[in-house]
Copies of this chain bind each other. A is one copy, B any other.
């Protein structure tokens, strides 16, 4: 048995090395940008009118002029017109500022009669209501740094700079294997001694959240079938997640089968509850995460070891979250303890309240909790107000 920290270190030393692929802008939400994205032009690309009104030379206003002959109308999306000294051009938000003009006066601040605009305010500043070329960013400035997660705001920037196709890190190919002859498919009515598969669906959903479509595989408790299938998956996949079949049972062939296929075991069993029987190994660049069969155990291992491995592999930077324990908790065994909690934002502070359940088999409880809180193995009593790491579902 090794500690959670050692296990985590071993897993994270064996990251997947993603290639880079170009994906259409419509499909990169949530992906990780694999290249610095620079401004192809200044931001804004021209002196951009920010209010509807007229544009003038500020010098004329400064010299006391308050009435301006309107010599034209300039919409957005057209070439800059030429203003004349002492005159004005009606101009619209989004338009390129007319030449020989540097300031915009809003419709609200003037009146127009017979083609003459009369300015009604005295407080006019040079360049007002103009968003000057390059004032936000210069051509060539990096707008989105390599390894940034693409959200709705990055999508807007990528569109602005014309990235129809965006370089992102390619997701690993992943298989999720369920084992155990007691398991039947979701559409089947189970016999009294059977249950429906659930772990593989939870794990699949977790991968879907990262934009990954895994292959689902079920293996009966049959040594040669398990061996043949895993042998072929090892050649195809970057990671294999297995639920069940790593305990001590007569039909838990998995560690033996994996060894016979040249999968090197890095560890089996971690000093934690739940999830102690977690097994991790690798062969030829494929990482094998073999989780215990119980739903909560599997989910703890997936959130604590697999998901950080996935994020780190894809260069996704994410800081460890913490919350404040809202009730006293005791846990005797010398194991890292993952407690199901509900984390709530109370006036800007994240407060974690324990959800009491029946241990590693109690899947239904996890729909009430929204995180695991992690307690160190070398303490037994944890007090309300202490800060501990959390793993949000």
Contact = CB atoms under 8 A, between A and B. Distances in A.
Interface in A306-323: 319, 321-323
Contacts of A248: 52-53, 106-108
Interface string A3-26: 000000000000000000000011
Contacts of A155: 201-202, 204-205
Contacts of A208: 29
Which of A194, A196, A345 counts the most B-chain CB atoms under 10 A from its CB? A196
A209 B29 contact: yes
A159 interface: yes
Nearest to A96: B193
A271 interface: no
Given A75-B221, A108-B248, 18 more contacts: A29-B205, A43-B362, A45-B190, A53-B248, A92-B249, A94-B244, A95-B193, A136-B362, A136-B363, A143-B364, A151-B393, A152-B206, A153-B363, A156-B299, A163-B186, A319-B345, A348-B350, A349-B350
Interface stretch (A117-125, A177-185, A280-288, A330-338): A177-185
B77 A182 contact: yes
Interface in A349-393: 349-351, 357-359, 361-367, 369, 387, 393
Query: How big is chain A's contact interface, by range?
Result: 35 or more
Query: What 4 A-B pairs come out closest when comparing CB atoms?
Result: A77-B181, A77-B182, A52-B249, A156-B202
A224 interface: no
Given A94-B180, A187-B162, A350-B349, A193 B358 contact: no
Contacts of A131: 358-359, 361
A96 B366 CA distance: 23
A103 to B, nearest CB: 17
A389 to B, nearest CB: 10
A93 B271 CA distance: 20
B94 A44 contact: no
A59 interface: no
A359 to B, nearest CB: 8
A366 B150 CA distance: 12
A256 to B, nearest CB: 15
Nearest to A151: B393
A272 interface: no
Contacts of A41: 190
B75 A250 contact: yes
Interface of A: 25-26, 29, 39, 41, 43-46, 48, 50-53, 73, 75-80, 90, 92-96, 106-108, 131, 135-137, 141, 143-144, 148, 151-164, 180-183, 186-190, 192-199, 201-206, 208-209, 221, 244, 247-252, 293-295, 299, 319, 321-324, 344-345, 347-351, 357-359, 361-367, 369, 387, 393
A83 B208 CA distance: 45
A144 B361 contact: no
B152 A205 contact: yes
Given A195-B44, A345-B350, A393-B151, A363 B156 contact: yes
Contacts of A163: 186
Contacts of A157: 198, 363-364, 366-367
Contacts of A393: 151-153
A307 to B, nearest CB: 10
